[in-house]
């Protein structure tokens, strides 16, 4: 039985789904081949999977709680994020193709969960890839698109603590993400 069949079977069993998924994903089988694990600090780990030739963050493991969370489905859609987790006002100035990626919760382009610190990790969600993304080995197919990312912060259960937001280059250059991280860390600390 493959991973998807085992996990889908568990979805019908109430209460212990995250713990059972954790046991399956903690095995060495999910550290080789199409899977690899990456330590994120603070007892957290991501299980990446090769999808269409790219490493994608599929599952988040919390070794402290011995639980696992599906971050992204096999069809590259975010499994945890929903409309409440997005600052839609900041997205008003985005182009239509970025909005289409966002509305479909697609995590298909290179996107990352960065390391945990003080219970919080930064998530970079790419809505439009750099034009080189489309280029083949000979350099053909490259477009003139500029990479467009949005950012949010999650806690150790994958819950969005600071909603996904679009930041201008000026805001990013002004280290606004450091301030937003500190605010997210304070929210997590207050939840304890």
- Report d(CA 123, CA 106) in Å as an integer: 14
- Report d(CA 126, CA 43) in Å as an integer: 26
pLDDT band at 54 (very low <50, low <70, confident <90, very high): confident
pLDDT band at 53 (very low <50, low <70, confident <90, very high): confident
- pLDDT at residue 128, rounded to an integer: 86
- Report d(CA 93, CA 142) in Å as an integer: 24
CA-wise closest residue to 164 among 101, 76, 97: 101
pLDDT band at 17 (very low <50, low <70, confident <90, very high): low
- pLDDT at residue 145, rounded to an integer: 57
- Report d(CA 182, CA 172) in Å as an integer: 15
CB 107 within 8 A of CB 56: yes
């Amino acid at each position: 039985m493959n991973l998807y069949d085992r996990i889908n079977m568990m979805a019908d069993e109430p209460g212990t789904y995250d713990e059972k998924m954790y046991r399956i994903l903690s095995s060495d089988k999910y550290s080789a081949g199409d899977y690899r694990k990456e330590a994120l600090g603070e007892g957290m780990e991501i299980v990446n999977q090769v999808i269409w030739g790219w490493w994608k963050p599929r599952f988040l493991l919390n070794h402290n709680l011995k639980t696992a969370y599906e971050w992204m489905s096999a069809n590259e859609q975010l499994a945890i994020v929903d409309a409440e987790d997005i600052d839609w006002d900041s997205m008003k100035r985005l182009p239509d193709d970025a909005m289409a990626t966002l509305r479909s919760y697609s995590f298909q382009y290179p996107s990352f969960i960065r390391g945990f610190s003080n219970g919080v990790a930064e998530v970079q969600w790419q809505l439009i890839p750099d034009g080189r993304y489309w280029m083949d080995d000979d350099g053909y197919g490259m477009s003139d698109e500029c990479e467009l990312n949005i950012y949010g912060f999650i806690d150790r259960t994958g819950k969005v603590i600071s909603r996904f937001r679009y930041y201008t280059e000026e805001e990013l250059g002004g280290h606004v993400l450091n301030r937003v991280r500190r605010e997210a860390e304070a929210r997590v600390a207050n939840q304890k």
